[in-house]
């Protein structure tokens, strides 16, 4: 019987990899985790957490403006971008320390460096080779950019989190959740923001009412959305940049950010050489147990390109560890996974879009648009949109979509209800909390006519 240095080596100390490895280590497995950057991965160090902190910071701009409607004297304090970035970095350092301690407490050895597979059981880390019975890939994803003239001048979400100064004009290429989130941050803090998208609308893949509502609200706030546009080239002129579109239009700005998607971060680490199948995007092809085409090599998180959300990666990591190291077989359930976009206003979504639901059968749609109670005194022109999609045959709620500042918090509870199979009748029988935005979800009674919205 082969003898290995470890029972499990994980490549990538992100959310999924850390969860899987520390659980396995806590159950007595000999474990190690390999990381060439910071412990915590994309979410904690380069994504969800630092971005949300910047979102919080940017909200104060409107809070100060709205305060006068509630009797507070006019006046807006000066904003200091470097202070926000410094405070954000201090928090990330604290979180990284917590992650490292969690690994130590569960007897997981942290191996610093780039891990590359040299065979199905061996990983080389900066010239040193270690072996393991099982190997887990948790290397996440990385921003993807096209090859166009001047692409070397752009930043991605990675660099946007650490800019030394706040640009006064920003062009963001892309219309996904990362693009609209950073557009909201920069706009709220005083920058003029232009979003450039190939499609006719932002947030491809989301429910159409979310897409239309959020776009309208962003445009109210002064964000320009340049639709059906393609960037041909980018040039730098001193401290400024020029973005030329296929139409011939040129956009001047102080920073160009690309948010045109992310690809699995799997190239150059020996996967294909070890026999692991990757799909066209570079994602590790896995089965329901997160097992690759090589029996002892597994993968979780964005490296597999299933549902690219941090809590999903964490749950995939847990299922892997429970199955392989705790004699408790578990596989991830991908139905009714709630998600949020921390745009301004924010988005909460769970279940099927209207178009997806219509493919499955007859549905009833309930939708409500209204001004938040807060803005009856501020005078701000902003609307909330809430939408329920109901399977007509079973009365089950199969989709819920919200645009509004409390949407992400509300959708978490709705996700629980939908996971339990809640029906529209049960929503209707639930007493609302008044006054709140969320009560609208249990008071909608009128179906939207089939012939229009």
- DSSP class of residue 288 equals T
Q: What angle do CA 302, 183, 344 make, to 5 degrees?
A: 90
Cβ–Cβ < 8 Å for 135, 8? yes
CB neighbour class for 153 (10 Å; exposed up to 12, middle 13-18, buried from 19): middle
Structural domain boundaries of the chain? 6-143+263-325, 151-259, 339-442
Question: Nearest CA to 183 among 83, 308, 65, 58?
Answer: 58
Higher pLDDT, 193 or 453: 193
The alpha carbon dihedral of 123, 129, 134, 139 has a sign of: negative
Q: Decide whether 6-143+263-325 matches 151-259 in CATH topology.
A: yes
Q: Over the stretch 239-287, which tens digit does the pLDDT of each residue have?
A: 999 999 999 999 999 999 999 999 999 999 999 999 999 999 999 999 9
Task: For the domain made up of 6-143+263-325, give the CATH fold.
Answer: FAD/NAD(P)-binding domain (3.50.50)
Question: Nearest CA to 345 among 370, 365, 317?
Answer: 370
What DSSP line would sit under 337-364, residue for residue?
A: --EEE--SS-EEEEE--HHHHHHHS-EE
Q: Over the stretch 366-383, which tens digit does the pLDDT of each residue have?
A: 999 999 999 999 999 999
The reply to whether CATH 3.30.390.30 applies to domain 339-442 is yes
Residue 298 has pLDDT above 80, yes or no: yes
What confidence score (pLDDT) does residue 85 get?
A: 97
Could you tell me the pTM of the whole model?
0.96
Active site residues: 434
Q: Over the stretch 124-183, which tens digit does the pLDDT of each residue have?
A: 999 999 999 999 999 999 999 999 999 999 999 999 999 999 999 999 999 999 999 999
Average pLDDT, the chain: 96
CB neighbour class for 42 (10 Å; exposed up to 12, middle 13-18, buried from 19): buried
What confidence score (pLDDT) does residue 206 get?
A: 98
Span 151-259: which CATH code? 3.50.50.60
- DSSP class of residue 68 equals G
Neighbour-count burial for 291-328, b at 16+ CB within 10 Å, e otherwise: bbebebbbbbbbbbbbbbbbebbbbbbbbbbbbbbbee
What confidence score (pLDDT) does residue 450 get?
A: 78
């Amino acid at each position: 019987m082969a003898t290995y240095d470890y029972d499990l080596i994980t490549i990538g100390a992100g959310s999924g990899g850390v969860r899987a490895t520390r659980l396995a280590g806590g159950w007595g497995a000999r474990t190690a985790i390999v990381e060439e950057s910071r412990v915590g991965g994309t979410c904690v160090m380069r994504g969800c957490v630092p971005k949300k902190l910047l979102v919080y910071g940017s909200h104060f701009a409107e809070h100060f403006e709205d305060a006068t409607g509630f009797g507070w004297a006019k006046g807006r304090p000066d904003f200091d971008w470097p202070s926000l970035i410094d405070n954000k970095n201090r928090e990330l350092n604290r979180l990284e320390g917590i992650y490292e301690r969690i690994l130590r407490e569960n007897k997981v050895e942290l191996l610093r460096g780039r891990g590359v597979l040299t065979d199905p059981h061996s990983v080389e880390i900066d010239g040193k080779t270690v072996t393991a019975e099982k190997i887990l890939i948790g290397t996440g994803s990385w921003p993807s950019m096209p090859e166009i003239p001047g692409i070397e001048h752009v930043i991605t979400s990675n660099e946007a989190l650490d800019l030394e100064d706040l640009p006064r004009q920003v062009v963001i290429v892309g219309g996904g959740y990362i693009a609209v989130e950073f557009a909201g941050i920069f706009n709220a803090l005083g920058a003029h923001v232009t979003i450039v998208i190939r499609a006719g609308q932002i947030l491809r893949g989301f429910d159409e009412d979310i897409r239309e509502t959020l776009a309208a609200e962003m445009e109210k706030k002064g964000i320009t959305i340049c639709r059906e546009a393609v960037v041909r080239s980018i040039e730098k002129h001193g401290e400024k940049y020029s973005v030329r579109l296929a139409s011939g239009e040129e956009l001047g700005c102080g920073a160009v950010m690309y948010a045109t998607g992310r690809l699995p971060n799997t190239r150059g680490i020996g996967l294909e050489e070890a026999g692991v199948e990757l799909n066209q995007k570079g994602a590790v092809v896995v089965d329901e147990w997160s097992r690759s085409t090589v029996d002892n090599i597994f993968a979780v998180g964005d490296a597999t390109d299933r549902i690219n959300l941090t809590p999903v990666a964490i749950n995939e990591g847990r299922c892997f560890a429970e199955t392989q190291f705790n004699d408790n077989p578990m596989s991830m359930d991908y139905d009714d996974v709630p998600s949020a976009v921390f745009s301004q206003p924010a988005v909460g979504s769970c279940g099927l879009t209207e178009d997806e639901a219509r493919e499955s059968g007859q549905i009833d749609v309930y939708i409500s648009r209204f001004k938040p109670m807060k803005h009856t005194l501020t005078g701000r022109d902003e609307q909330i949109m809430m939408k329920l999609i109901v399977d007509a045959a079973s009365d089950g709620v199969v989709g819920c979509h919200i645009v509004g500042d409390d949407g992400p918090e509300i959708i978490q509870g709705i996700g629980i209800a939908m996971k339990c199979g809640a029906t529209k009748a049960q929503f209707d029988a639930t007493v609302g909390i008044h006054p709140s935005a969320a009560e609208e979800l249990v008071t909608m009674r009128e179906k939207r006519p089939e012939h229009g919205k």
